[in-house]
Amino acid sequence: MYIIVNIDDASELAAKGEPLFLWLHADIDACQVIKLEDLAKAGPAIGTAVQKWV
């Protein structure tokens, strides 16, 4: 299965994607293009998703 998305702010990927992947217990291969600044903004959302779903 492939899912292709376009997100205006790359830092939103963690908040939108991680809960889905964790809920489905999915293994994923992702190829994303993200600026370092956007990755830094995504950090808190990654932590929140892990705390909620793991």
Q: What is the pLDDT of residues 7-32, one digit of tens each?
A: 787 777 777 777 877 888 877 676 66
What residues contact residue 23 under an 8 Å CB cut-off, 6+ apart?
53
46 is a domain residue: yes
Report pLDDT for 45.
83
What pTM did the predictor assign?
0.38
Q: Which amino acid is it at 1?
A: M
12 found inside a domain: no
Q: Is residue 7 part of a domain?
A: no
Residue 48 lies in a domain: yes
8 secondary structure, DSSP code: S
Structural domain count, the chain: 1
Residue 39 lies in a domain: yes
Count of alpha carbons within 13 angstroms of residue 19, beta-carbon side: 7
Q: What average pLDDT does the segment 46-54 reach?
A: 82
Domain boundaries, position 34:
29-54
pLDDT higher than 80, residue 52: yes
| Residue 9 near residue 42, CB atoms below 8 Å | no
Is position 20 within any domain?
no
pLDDT more than 90, % of the chain: 0
